[in-house]
Amino acid sequence: MQLLPGFRDFYPEDCARRNYILSVWRNVASRYGFVEYDGPVLEPIELYRKKSGGELVGQLFDFVDKGERHVALRPEMTPSLARMVAARERDYKKPLKWFCAPSFFRYEKQQRGRLREFLQLNCDILGDATPAADAELLALLIDILRGFGLGPEDFVVRLSDRDAWMQFASGRGVEEARLLDFLGVVDKLERAPEAESRRKLEEFGIPLEAVRAFIAHPEAEAGKLHGILADLKARGLDQFVTVDLTIVRGLAYYTGLVFEVFDRGGKERALAGGGRYDALLEVMSDGKVRMPALGFGMGDVVLANLVEEVPSAAQRRAEWLAARRSAEVYIVVAEESKRAEALQVLQLLREAGWRTDYAMGAAKVGKQFQAAEVLGAKFAVVVGAEWPEVKVKQLALRSEASCQWQDLPAFLKK
Amino acid sequence: MQLLPGFRDFYPEDCARRNYILSVWRNVASRYGFVEYDGPVLEPIELYRKKSGGELVGQLFDFVDKGERHVALRPEMTPSLARMVAARERDYKKPLKWFCAPSFFRYEKQQRGRLREFLQLNCDILGDATPAADAELLALLIDILRGFGLGPEDFVVRLSDRDAWMQFASGRGVEEARLLDFLGVVDKLERAPEAESRRKLEEFGIPLEAVRAFIAHPEAEAGKLHGILADLKARGLDQFVTVDLTIVRGLAYYTGLVFEVFDRGGKERALAGGGRYDALLEVMSDGKVRMPALGFGMGDVVLANLVEEVPSAAQRRAEWLAARRSAEVYIVVAEESKRAEALQVLQLLREAGWRTDYAMGAAKVGKQFQAAEVLGAKFAVVVGAEWPEVKVKQLALRSEASCQWQDLPAFLKK
């Protein structure tokens, strides 16, 4: 009996690390006024075919269910989000600032940073077409990574603008129908052999040098990216971003700002990516809902690798995990005849909110103290012959005191 | 574009209610020293066939993936848990106290309290065969429901013992191979017509009256249930349980204690159910791992219905939700020329941990105050001509004060 390839078991220590990531995601998103939503794990496959491009259809876990519906495990959130917002957009004040952090499923080749089931934080702003919204989303992205203890020496957000590329291409006579193909060549520029890029660009009548010159002196910086950068500067976050027109993003539906986040070391895949998709809601709702939108996705796999590698981030995670050890208080039953009394103490402390554990069966006192240490308990409460008085030991300090059992909740607080 | 039947969209207000349930589940389980784990959403179908009985195979969302593997969306957690524990049981001190609260998938008929994707809390104790472990698990179950503001007048845990039934049946000559069939008749006793139950029991040579007498005067109470009840009494939780031998549970793998939780009104399906499954790990590991175990599952759907219906529970939920309104502080930009300063204040407050929002575009001051009210903000911070001084309004009290902008985090704390 084995796990499927690309899927994960989360043993308690793995689950705690996963919950740490979810906790930082949720905390920072909430501070930014984003509210959480979620959708179903399973959707009709048409939802993913409908989205212009349908790039992910080849990677779907799809099947026909017992009711003859062709369905798919969600590979990304944007189609579900667009479906949900299109259905009830009148119920919400604009702009919507929504996030979610569920599991997604893609049938991918096994490689570092890629799994078939992964978590992904999705943050979106809907109903605001201004650079102020672009900046708010980027600030959130940056502060989430800062929330993990990562600094400007650890990651960079590379900003680009599809509109600038569209203008560049149409200004040089590329037909509208071929714009996406042109962007595809730009997307591969950093990875493809130079001769290949040159040949492909010639098909559009554009010399490689012109493209390189545009990337080197981006007219875009004077355009909408300028407003975004000024906003981020006011927040003190400008050192985390750089303009880099080699970024165009793979998905067809992006319309304006696009961006990707990379570790400065360049060892990992992109940590996150996103952009504007001002036309998608209209496509998804068959023209019923028009709403500008932008968002990003941040997976848990590459992020966890980076948190592991950067000492300040690993340290912050270790502190979070230590504060959540499984027990704070351990009840030591020193006299088996006092077990009923020990259960009373157990209940009292748990009701007062203390994470409290105990030995369910009779055990030597030394063994019980050992168990307390293994669980990382801060206090041991010894119930024995002195009842209704109990002993309280602070395990790290090896100090000891006594109190009446009913006073324990107040006593432990100090 | 529609949601699949039996699946749910969680709009922000739905998601907050879902998160409330998850939060109570996690908090109380942690207080009991339970640690969270999780497994994959997708498993090989053999995992569910292997479990003795395989009752849920007919309700699976199963399919063949792109790698020719026959897989299924998880319909329950116990097989994954057994697989995980069998693989690494030596790495953990016994007993294991583990919980999880993920999504499960069953192709069920549409009816009240049943969905095709639902959340279920699973709590299990592995490696302890004593009634003390039974009591610890039941106490957790009870305190979780109490954590929702439900009391002894709202729900009851009905305890039963499969061993007692096994002894009853073998003492009356039922062969071992037919014991599960016999339990099946007992399971339906409350719902099936009397004549049908009588006829079926006669096939086992047992009069209906004998079964009724056993239920009315359970010998079991003198047995292991006695120890469990005494333990719960010491914790002050005995008023939440009752012995009721009509409970036998549908699944084949239970071996001792079995229980179900019902609302006292009897309007809903079972809120939770579980029991001992001391032989399952051995079956799942092909005899490699023997470990006594018990656990319960509690779905979110019936629970949410009951929380809605019981005023004290609905009130507690409302308070939790109110404390998590999307913004605590709203920045009002009174002078558009001070937008950069307002962004500085925004960043300062968010870094200090305040959930803070603002209008991304220029808007009249009155409109901005309206937005603050809609978001449920406690404070409005007005950035305008007085800069570097800002005004702080407590929205509910309509009171106003001023301070230097850098002092805001400390000022708002008071």
Q: Give contacts of A103 with chain B, Cβ < 8 Å.
A: 41
CA distances from A238 to A154, A243, A263, A345 (A): 14, 11, 16, 54
Which residues are bridge partners to A215 per DSSP? none
**Banded pLDDT at B113 (limits 50, 70, 90):** confident
CB half-sphere exposure, B371, CA atoms < 13 A: 24
Segments making up each domain of chain B, as ranges: 12-320, 329-413
Alpha carbon of residue A404 to chain centroid: 47
Do B303 and B21 form a contact (C-beta atoms < 8 A)? yes
Do A145 and A155 form a contact (C-beta atoms < 8 A)? yes
Nearest in space to B304 (alpha carbons), one of B4, B79, B10: B10
Give the span between the Cα atoms of B296 and A198, in whole angstroms.
64
Residue type, B382: V
- Cis peptide before B388, with omega less than 30 degrees from 0? yes
Give the span between the Cα atoms of B343 and B349, in whole angstroms.
10
Residue B221: per-residue pLDDT:
60
Q: Give contacts of A105 with chain B, Cβ < 8 Å.
A: 41-42
Query: Which of B4, B84, B95 lies closest to A69 in CB terms?
Result: B4
Record: contact B132-A1, CB cut-off 8 A: no
Contacts of B353 (CB under 8 A, 6+ apart): A31
Give the span between the Cα atoms of B42 and B74, in whole angstroms.
6
Record: contact A71-B4, CB cut-off 8 A: yes
Tell me which residue has tokens 């407050």: B349
Nearest in space to A289 (alpha carbons), one of A102, A96, A119, A11: A96
Give the span between the Cα atoms of A117 and B42, in whole angstroms.
9
CATH of A329-413, one of 3.90.480.20, 2.120.10.10, 3.10.50.40, 3.40.50.800: 3.40.50.800
Which residues numbered 149-188 in B keep a CB inside 8 Å of some CB on A? Answer: none
Give the span between the Cα atoms of A409 and A349, in whole angstroms.
6
Residue A45: per-residue pLDDT:
94
Neighbouring CB atoms inside 10 A of A377's CB total 26
Residue B154 carries which DSSP code? T
Give the span between the Cα atoms of A291 and A413, in whole angstroms.
52
Do B383 and B341 form a contact (C-beta atoms < 8 A)? yes
Instruction: Determine the average pLDDT of the residues in B302-326.
Output: 95
Question: How is B21-87 classified by DSSP, letter by letter?
Answer: HHHHHHHHHHHTT-EE-B--SEEETHHHHHSTT-TTGGG--EEE-TTS-EEEE-S-SHHHHHHHHHH
Tell me which residue has tokens 């959403």: B41
Residue B49: per-residue pLDDT:
86
Which residues numbered 358-377 in A keep a CB inside 8 Å of some CB on B? Answer: 360-361, 371, 374-375
Nearest-neighbour CA in chain A from B177: distance (Å): 27
Record: contact B326-A35, CB cut-off 8 A: yes
Residues B193, B195, B198, B200, CA torsion sign: negative
Do B110 and B265 form a contact (C-beta atoms < 8 A)? no
Residue B55: per-residue pLDDT:
67
Contacts of B58 (CB under 8 A, 6+ apart): none
Residue B242 carries which DSSP code? E
Give the span between the Cα atoms of A360 and A369, in whole angstroms.
14
The CATH architecture annotation of domain A12-320 reads: 2-Layer Sandwich (3.30)
The chain-wide mean pLDDT, for chain B, equals 93
**A343 contacts chain B (CB < 8 A):** yes
φ and ψ at residue A92, rounded to 5 degrees: -125, 140
Residue B145 carries which DSSP code? H
ipTM over 0.85: yes
Nearest in space to B245 (alpha carbons), one of B222, B268, B279: B222
φ and ψ at residue B127, rounded to 5 degrees: 95, 20
Record: contact A73-B353, CB cut-off 8 A: no
Q: Give contacts of B123 with chain A, Cβ < 8 Å.
A: none
Token pair belonging to B274: 């579980």
Query: What tens digit of pLDDT does each residue of B95-112 get?
Result: 999 999 999 999 988 888
- Cis peptide before A388, with omega less than 30 degrees from 0? yes
**Banded pLDDT at B54 (limits 50, 70, 90):** low
Give the span between the Cα atoms of B254 and B277, in whole angstroms.
5
Residue B172 carries which DSSP code? T
Nearest-neighbour CA in chain B from A194: distance (Å): 35
φ and ψ at residue A160, rounded to 5 degrees: -150, 175
Query: What tens digit of pLDDT does each residue of A16-73 get?
Result: 999 999 999 999 999 999 999 999 999 999 999 876 556 678 899 999 999 999 999 9
Nearest in space to A126 (alpha carbons), one of A114, A137, A141: A137
**pLDDT at B179 > cutoff 90:** no
A/B interface, count of CB pairs below 8 Å: 232
Query: What tens digit of pLDDT does each residue of B399-412 get?
Result: 999 999 999 999 99
φ and ψ at residue B364, rounded to 5 degrees: -60, 150
Supply the angle between the helices B12-31 and B311-322 in degrees, to the nearest 10.
100
Residue type, B362: A
Q: Give contacts of B71 with chain A, Cβ < 8 Å.
A: 4
3-state secondary structure of B353: coil
Give the span between the Cα atoms of A299 and A222, in whole angstroms.
32
Q: Is B376 left (phi over 0), alpha (psi -120 to 50) or beta?
A: left
Give the span between the Cα atoms of B194 and A401, in whole angstroms.
64
Tell me which residue has tokens 């979610």: A100
Residue type, B44: P
Residues of chain A falling short of pLDDT 50: none
Residue B289 carries which DSSP code? -
Query: Which of B30, B86, B236 lies closest to A355 in CB terms?
Result: B30
Sheet holding A62-64, edge to edge: A42-44, A70-73, A62-64
Neighbouring CB atoms inside 10 A of B163's CB total 18
Residue type, B356: T
**Banded pLDDT at B180 (limits 50, 70, 90):** confident
Residue from A13, A31, A280 to probe the interface with B (highest B Cβ count within 10 Å):
A31
Residue A72: per-residue pLDDT:
96
Give the span between the Cα atoms of B93 and B287, in whole angstroms.
20
* Length of chain A, in residues: 414
Record: contact B12-A35, CB cut-off 8 A: yes
Residue B252: per-residue pLDDT:
76
Between B99 and B288, the more confident residue is: B99
Give the span between the Cα atoms of B390 and A222, in whole angstroms.
33
Give the span between the Cα atoms of B391 and B373, in whole angstroms.
17
Query: Which of A12, A84, A355 lies closest to B98 in CB terms?
Result: A12
φ and ψ at residue B308, rounded to 5 degrees: -65, -40
Contacts of B90 (CB under 8 A, 6+ apart): none
Do A381 and A331 form a contact (C-beta atoms < 8 A)? yes
Which residues numbered 220-279 in B keep a CB inside 8 Å of some CB on A? Answer: 230-231, 234-237
Contacts of A62 (CB under 8 A, 6+ apart): A45, A70, A71, A72, A73
Query: Which of B37, B46, B61 lies closest to A65 in CB terms?
Result: B61
Give the span between the Cα atoms of B119 and B299, in whole angstroms.
6
Query: What tens digit of pLDDT does each residue of B10-43 get?
Result: 999 999 999 999 999 999 999 999 999 999 999 9
Record: contact B132-A7, CB cut-off 8 A: no
Residue B326: per-residue pLDDT:
84
Query: Which of B105, B235, B347 lies closest to A235 in CB terms?
Result: B347
Give the span between the Cα atoms of B309 and B313, in whole angstroms.
8
Alpha carbon of residue B66 to chain centroid: 33
**B282 contacts chain A (CB < 8 A):** no
Q: Give contacts of A328 with chain B, Cβ < 8 Å.
A: none
Record: contact A16-B36, CB cut-off 8 A: yes
φ and ψ at residue B54, rounded to 5 degrees: 60, 35
Residue A220: per-residue pLDDT:
57
Nearest in space to B159 (alpha carbons), one of B137, B177, B180: B137
Record: contact B42-A93, CB cut-off 8 A: no
Chain B residue with CA closest to A44: the answer is B4
Strand segments, DSSP code E, in B27-82 are 35-36, 42-44, 62-64, 70-73
**pLDDT at B52 > cutoff 70:** no
